[in-house]
A and B are shown apart, each in its own frame.
Chain A
Amino acid sequence: MSLIDTIVQGVLLGGLYALFAAGLSLVFGIMRLVNLAHGDLIVLAAFLLLVLVSTLGLNPFLAALLVAPVMFALGYALQEVLFNRTLGKDVLPPLLVTFGLSIVIQNGLLEGFSADSRRISTGALETASMAAGPVTIGLMPLLALLSAVAVIVGLNLLIYRTALGRAFRATSDDAVTAGLMGIHPRKIFAMATGLAMVVVTIAALYLGTRANFDPTAGPARLIYAFEAVIIGGLGSLWGTLAGGIILGVAQTLGAAINPEWQILSGHLAFLAVLLVKPRGLFPRAVD
């Protein structure tokens, strides 16, 4: 395997990690909430897709269109019923409630689907690829990267060009004053989490079609998402994409040396960035 090919595969993998991270980044940016169940929600969405694809024989992309509104509603409800009650100065309640949720989702999935590894089949797309010189680009990994770019462009348009996006930013600045403008901060937070769950559905589509997953796969996805956000710098979605790509390249380079080092070298790259630039490579938000 050539070095260029390794790096290209890493960049493509980075697209998937950016998809994991975009929802986390969005929610943190708006309400300073870190959802420890984020990875488990990705896995939950992947299982929903699996059910639609395997029982109804739907195309995975069509299934994602159906799952996205369900996940939006779930995110909206979770925020309204659970997370909104925990928001405040103290960081303990949201962390512990989302941690509890993570355990609940994992074990609920274990009960429902057993510990077996699953994969969502995309048929012919699975193996489709194109050769560009020494590099072979898989169609699904490429679609994942392009989807990540599209998600980030879309989220940026929403945040900076729409009334809802203005309300997001205003509420993030000062929720009390936003209330005086007719904005219900709790509904805004619920919208944001719902939106993050739509992104989670897209991430789940590529997670489930790329490799095997099982009910305990969530925490590792949370960690990759978190690493991408921190490497990129808080508050910048493009930074998150860059962070995801750096993480992906670090992992494929590590794996090229020794397959057992894939995950470890990603973590080490994260720690190296934390050491050199604790605020990430492209910081934007001032907290």
Chain B
Amino acid sequence: MTALLETRGLTAFYGDFQALFGVDIRVEASETIAIIGANGAGKTTLMRAISGVLKSAADTITCRGEAIGALTAPDILSRGVAMVPEGRRLFPSLTVEENLLVGAYGKRRGVWTLDSVYTLFPILKERRNNPATALSGGQQQMVAIGRALMANPDVLLCDEISLGLAPVVVRDIYAAFPRIRASGASIVIVEQDIGQALKVASRVYCMMEGRITLSGRPDELSRENIHTAYFGAVRHEPH
């Protein structure tokens, strides 16, 4: 059976520097997967490649069997793959509501509209006419997620959404995930916070130095395994 989204032998380069070395991941319909790894492991590069910000060889990324690796970002979005980029990247000269509406520019129909995003994150409705960058970090992250949802994606890529946010704020944001999944979308989260990742994901990929070093269901993976995959060697913690 063909997967909803799949990468096969995906490589990526920044100039002469190779950032990904043959990455294989698979996303099925209606599942949440997590990609974990240390800083510089290649997680964000993987997201940028899948979303089309970085160009790849056509057949290294497929969506429902269609080769999409060489497509541009807008064309990949039209196939139903939306991204919440690292650092949120809201449009500073647009209001909260305008940021959300820009997310709907691709005109894919579905359950997500201004109203349903405001129901998911009620605070945004109160602040709809504020400039997006006047909001707190957590609220800005909600705008970024809402903006991606407005495209009614089949796959939502979330890159480092808890970075720089207080734990209580992160908890609020993750509280919205069951409802996002209930809308039918698969979710791919990129996290450095392993605990958070294991809690929400049905499958986990661990990356190190541009390669997948471990994958499996959270309950299959031991702490030891993850540490090895994460840091490259078993770390002996003092008891």
Give a binary string over A171-195; 1 marks a CB under 8 Å from any B CB, 0 the rest: 0111011111111100000000000
Is B91 an interface position by the 8 A CB rule?
yes
Report if B109 contacts A (CB, 8 A).
no
Cβ-defined partner of B73 (8 Å) among A170, A173, A174, A180? A180
Q: Does A167 lie within 8 Å of B102, measured CB to CB?
A: yes
Minimum CB–CB distance from A92 to chain B (whole Å) comes to 22
**Cβ of A166 under 8 Å from chain B:** yes
Instruction: Verify if B69 is at the interface (C-beta below 8 Å from A).
Output: no
| Most A Cβ at <10 Å: residue of B83, B85, B89, B102 | B102
A interface residues, how many (CB within 8 angstroms): 17
Are A181 and B105 touching (Cβ within 8 A)? yes
Beta-carbon contacts under 8 Å, B59-100 to A = 72-74, 77-78, 82-83, 85, 89, 91-94, 98
* CB within 8 Å of B: which A52-84 residues: none
- Docked-complex contact A174 and B89, CB < 8 angstroms: yes
Taking CB atoms, residues of chain A closer than 8 Å to B106 are: 181-182
Structural contact, A173 and B78, CB atoms closer than 8 A: no
Closest residue of B by beta carbon distance from A185: B74
Q: How far is the CA of A180 from the CA of B99 in the complex (A)?
A: 12
Q: CB distance B82 to A180 under 8 Å?
A: yes
Task: Please give, as numbers and ranges, the residues of chain B lying within 8 Å of A163 by CB-CB distance.
Answer: 101, 105
Contact with B along A152-173 (1 / 0, CB 8 A): 0000000000010011011011
Q: Assess the A176–B53 pair: CB atoms within 8 A.
A: yes
B93 touching A169 by the CB < 8 A rule?
Answer: yes
A180 engages B51 (CB within 8 Å): yes
CB closest residue in chain A, given B81: A180
Q: Which of A173, A176, A178 counts the most B-chain CB atoms under 10 A from its CB?
A: A173
A180-B102 contact in complex given A173-B93, A174-B89, C-beta closer than 8 Å: no
Distance from A61 Cβ to chain B, minimum over Cβ atoms (Å) = 35
- Quote the shortest CB–CB distance from A187 to chain B (angstroms): 9
**B147 at the A/B interface (Cβ < 8 Å)?**
yes
A173 lies within 8 A of B91 (CB): yes
- Give chain A nearest CB distance to B4 CB in angstroms: 19
Residues of A within 8 A of B107 (CB): 182
Contacts known (A166-B101, A177-B85, A179-B52); A184 close to B74, Cβ less than 8 A: yes
**Residue numbers in A under 8 Å from B91 (CB-CB):** 169-170, 173-174, 177-178
- B173 → chain A closest CB, angstroms: 19
Interface membership of chain B positions 189-222, coded 1 if the CB is closer than 8 angstroms to chain A and 0 otherwise:
0000000000000000000000000000000000
Indicate whether B103 reaches chain A with its CB closer than 8 angstroms: yes
Minimum CB–CB distance from B9 to chain A (whole Å) comes to 24
Contact of A180 among B53, B92, B94, B101 (CB under 8 A): B53
Instruction: Choose among A179, A183, A184 the residue with the greatest number of B CB atoms under 10 Å from its CB.
Output: A179
* Shortest beta-carbon distance from A90 to chain B in Å: 17
B180 an interface residue at 8 Å Cβ cutoff? no
Q: B103 and A181: CB pair below 8 A?
A: yes
User: Are A180 and B77 closer than 8 Å at their CB atoms?
Assistant: yes
- Whether the pair B72, A184 counts as a contact (CB closer than 8 A) is yes
B151 close to chain A: CB less than 8 A: yes
Query: Smallest CB–CB gap between B55 and chain A, Å?
Result: 12
- Provided the pairs A180-B82, A183-B74 are in contact, do residues A167 and B89 lie with their beta carbons within 8 angstroms? no
Chain A CB count within 10 A is highest, among B74, B101, B107, B147, for B74
Q: Quick one: which of A167, A169, A182 has the most chain B CB within 10 A?
A: A182
CB distance B74 to A169 under 8 Å?
no
Top 4 A-B residue pairs of the complex, sorted by shortest distance between their CB atoms: A182-B106, A179-B73, A177-B89, A173-B91
Residues of chain B whose beta carbon lies under 8 Å from any beta carbon of chain A: 51-53, 72-74, 77-78, 82-83, 85, 89, 91-94, 98, 101-103, 105-107, 147-148, 151
